[in-house]
Structure 1
Amino acid sequence: MTKPVALNNLPVKNTVAGHYGRFVHGERSTLAFWEISEGAISPMHQHPHEQITYVAAGIFEMEIDGVKYELLQHDTLVIPPNALHGGRAVKDCKLIDSFCPVREDYR
């Protein structure tokens, strides 16, 4: 993507129940904008990508390698590559995730 695009003009993908994402892909990274419904579960999973999560709104409970964190608005968290992680939206959430390398599965 080499020109500006309004976030609302990006297609929405429902990747997991209650998870609605819009994605921007560069050559080496992906930026994901999520809207996650209260109570929605992000199943435990792992991937080779480094992930940085930012909570723009809401409360999200994240578990990484057996440790739980309550993420509040404006909190950030780095998830290392291959770390087992998952979570739950305690309240409706807006999250921004960066992934490196690119998440081809989100194209």
Structure 2
Amino acid sequence: MSENFSLPKGVVWVDSGGGVMRAVLSERPELMMVAFAFPEGGVGALHSHPHVQSSFVAEGRFEVTIEGETMTVPKGGSFIVPPSALHGVKALEKGLLIDAFTPRRDDFL
């Protein structure tokens, strides 16, 4: 096992509620990568955290709200959430987000 690599067989999915599943893909204190799988209609409720978040839409289409601005982001699109910004998502179809957080979100470990 290496701290520099993470393989699919080692990924553990946990229930985040409302049918949304979360898996930490890789992490170090400075940076973390997390996958979120959403069913159609699944919601990531409005929230904020002190981390910078960068998100990539790997599958599906999401309605994304950041600080009151809402946009539909399709597969292949991405967005950045500044620290402490109020944000949330709604899956317009079944989808997968790949999120990076800096620093690491220890509450996900």
Alignment match, 1:26: 28
Q: Cα–Cα, structure 1 residues 40 and 50, in superposed 2: closer, same or farther, change >3 Å?
A: same
Q: For structure 1, list consecutive stretches of 5 or more residues without a partner in the other structure.
A: none
Deviations 1:36-82, CA, capped at 9 Å, x for gaps: 11101111100000000100110011101111010101001011000
Q: After TM superposition, what 4+ stretches of structure 1 lie above 3 angstroms from structure 2?
A: none
Structure 2: give runs of 5+ residues left out of the alignment: none
Superposed, which structure 2 residues align to 1:26-105 within 5 Å? Answer: 26-105=28-107
2:104 corresponds to 1:106: no
Identity of aligned residues (%): 27
The number of residue pairs the alignment matches comes to 107
Residue identity matched to 1:58: G
Q: What TM-score, normalized by structure 1, do the two folds share?
A: 0.93
What is the Cα-based RMSD across aligned positions, in Å? 1.3
Deviates more, 1:12-21 or 1:87-96: 12-21
1:17 counterpart letter in structure 2: G
